[in-house]
Amino acid sequence: METLTALKIAHVLATALLLVGAVGLAIWVWRTRRNGDATAPARTLQRPRVFIWLVMGLALANLPFTGWWMVHQVGWPLGQTWLLASSVLYTLAALAGFWLLARLNKARKAPTAGVGRFTFALALFSVVCLIAIAGLMGAKPV
């Protein structure tokens, strides 16, 4: 298999795994809360499905490397607006994701505190940033 094709597959697969994992965790927590127990999300986070978190972390770490390598293989300059915008969005999404993980860990340790609207806003911001990056990558407005 050609290097560029393999990089594209790895990049798209990492993006899909990251988004599917995030949506899966969100639905899982939402369904437990919808069943009527207010402490269910905190109890759910006490066993956070390590496999899902590990896959999401590996995908998040993989994206900048495969993206840079693809850009290098194709020969695009790194100063293009869509590449810079996606890099800034990725940095913001990753920072919000790390902040989100810190808040979820705090909620896991103190289940009575609740998760809150700000935690939901952080998660939503991260997902919207990643979807915007996928849109930029798909459109490639050169």
pLDDT in tens, 70-85: 888 888 888 888 899 9
* Residues contacting 31, CB < 8 A, separation 6+: none
Q: Give residue 88's pLDDT.
A: 94
The mean per-residue pLDDT over the stretch 41-53 comes to 64
Answer whether 0.75 is exceeded by the pTM. Answer: yes
| Mean pLDDT score of the chain | 81
Q: Is the dihedral of CA 45, 46, 52, 54 positive or negative?
A: positive
* 115 pLDDT tier (thresholds 50, 70, 90): low
| C-alpha to C-alpha distance for 26 and 56, rounded to whole angstroms | 13
What Cα–Cα distance (Å) separates residue 79 from each residue in 75, 83, 111, 130, 132? 12, 7, 46, 20, 19
Position 99 pLDDT exceeds 70: yes
| C-alpha to C-alpha distance for 84 and 91, rounded to whole angstroms | 11
The mean per-residue pLDDT over the stretch 13-39 comes to 79
| C-alpha to C-alpha distance for 42 and 103, rounded to whole angstroms | 11
